[in-house]
């Protein structure tokens, strides 16, 4: 528990984490508001085919904050400190204090999980009133089961970013790929037009936990299991690589 508290404190000391938190907490509300405004006339006319997605779409596109969180949690350990501090890396100090690399990773992953959940809860709290303000009586009901699915999606996404950064030992690659995939163009959606195997990619399966899309392939529970399996697999691979790697290299 002491290691977990230490990692939590370490994350909150990073300026980038506060920026990630702001993006994650409020960007979804902006996306949901723009989508609600764009659909308002069709919703009032009763011709909107995307009514079940209103509000939730902000949670689908607004995971950039937790992606940054997952990447920074690892990449910050490899930043070279100033010459006044000895010019070393934080990871060396961290592993001196915590002898077990597995305990270190679990504590850091736990801290990422807690912060991701908190950010997503704040995002939900901002999305609901904004959507009601724009759509009024036409606002679809926000179901608890789908909101829980969104929280799981955000948490799993943050942990995927965390695991991929450990594997690559580079924050730029996972950050770029995951940010583009979640905001500009989804590679899994494109691949799904070619093969159904794409529906088993983590982001595509995870979306089914809370979005009611016309091409939904999994039930919310199955989608969650598929994404969780990816998280476990990547974390195991990351733990093995991290255990064998010379962190000073």
Q: How would you write the pLDDT of the chain (249 residues) with one tens digit per residue?
A: 788 988 898 899 888 999 999 999 999 999 989 988 888 888 888 777 666 778 788 888 889 999 999 999 999 888 766 555 555 677 887 878 887 889 999 999 999 999 999 999 999 999 989 998 988 888 877 888 889 999 999 999 999 999 999 998 888 889 988 988 887 677 887 887 888 888 899 988 999 998 876 667 888 899 999 999 999 999 999 999 998 876 554
Q: Model pTM greater than 0.75?
A: yes
Is 185 strand, coil or helix? coil
CA distances from 110 to 5, 13, 114, 168 (A): 10, 16, 6, 20
Contact between residue 8 and residue 114 where contact means Cβ atoms under 8 Å apart: yes
Cβ neighbours of residue 144 under 8 Å, at least 6 residues apart? none
**The token pair that represents 3 in the structure block:** 């290691």
């Amino acid at each position: 528990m002491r290691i977990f508290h230490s990692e939590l404190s370490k994350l909150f000391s990073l300026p980038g984490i506060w920026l990630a938190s702001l993006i994650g907490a409020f960007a979804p509300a902006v996306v949901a508001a723009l989508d609600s405004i764009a659909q308002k006339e069709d919703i009032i006319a009763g011709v909107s085919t995307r009514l079940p997605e209103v509000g939730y779409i902000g949670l689908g596109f607004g995971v950039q904050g937790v992606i940054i969180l997952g990447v920074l949690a690892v990449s910050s350990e490899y930043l070279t400190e100033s010459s006044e501090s000895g010019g070393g890396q934080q990871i060396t100090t961290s592993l001196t204090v915590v002898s077990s690399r597995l305990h270190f990773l679990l504590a850091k992953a736990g801290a990422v999980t807690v912060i991701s959940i908190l950010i997503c809860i704040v995002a939900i709290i901002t999305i609901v009133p904004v959507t009601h303000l724009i759509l009024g009586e036409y606002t679809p009901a926000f179901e608890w089961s789908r909101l829980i699915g969104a929280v799981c999606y955000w948490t799993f996404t943050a942990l995927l970013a965390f695991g991929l950064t450990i594997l690559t030992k580079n924050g730029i690659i996972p950050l770029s790929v995951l940010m583009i995939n979640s905001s500009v163009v989804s590679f899994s959606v494109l691949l799904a037009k070619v093969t159904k195997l794409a529906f088993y990619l983590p982001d595509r399966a995870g979306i089914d936990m809370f979005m009611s899309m016309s091409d939904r392939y999994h039930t919310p529970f199955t989608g969650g299991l598929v994404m969780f399996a990816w998280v476990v697999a990547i974390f195991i691979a990351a733990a093995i690589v991290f255990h064998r790697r010379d962190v000073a290299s």
